[in-house]
Amino acid sequence: MIVLYRLFRYQTSWVSETADELFDAEFAHETEEMLSVYEIERSVAPQVHVEHYAAAGNDPPRNGGGFDCGSFQWEVTPDDPGGLFATRRSAHRLIQTKSEDDRKRFASETWSLICQDAPAKVEVRKDDMRAHVHSRVQRSDAEWIGFLEAASDDWKKYPKPLATPPDDKSRKTPKPK
């Protein structure tokens, strides 16, 4: 299913008590006339989320997510922001918000979705994002390899496998008493 995915800056935004609180957390910092969204299959959200963080120069993401704003009646235009990660670039869209009042209206519509606890919520787990990066590195993906070569130590550790079962030699045998 195709969604119009807007990342939340803060996972706590899902528990905003008012539309104004949500606006302050998510949209008050937006000064440009466009809001970024991604037109993607819901299953691609972990990939786009982690690529968004990497391309923006942010630290690696923890659990997060966003919402499907496809039901909103806003004009959506394709946009290639440039930079890393072809999937992220090809899915990037812009929603025009000409003023702070527009962004407040967008926040209000978003808050209405939150109050419904609707299927519009798109949760993204850190494990899924790390698994995506790990798989790309394992396949020698040029974009991820190039990014990680110049990235911070936190990013370099990010694609490590989450858990590997210990082999038989690493198990400690209890000492007899």
**Percent of all residues in the chain with a pLDDT value above 90, rounded to a whole number:** 54
Q: Tell whether the model's pLDDT for residue 4 goes beyond 80.
A: yes
pTM of the full predicted structure? Answer: 0.84
Q: What's the confidence (pLDDT) of residue 163?
A: 58
Bridge-partner residues for 67, per DSSP?
A: 6, 121
For 73-123, what is each residue's pLDDT tens digit?
898 999 989 999 999 999 999 999 988 999 999 999 988 888 886 678 888
Q: Is the pLDDT of residue 8 over 70?
A: yes
pLDDT tens-digit map of 121-153: 888 999 999 999 999 999 999 999 999 999 999
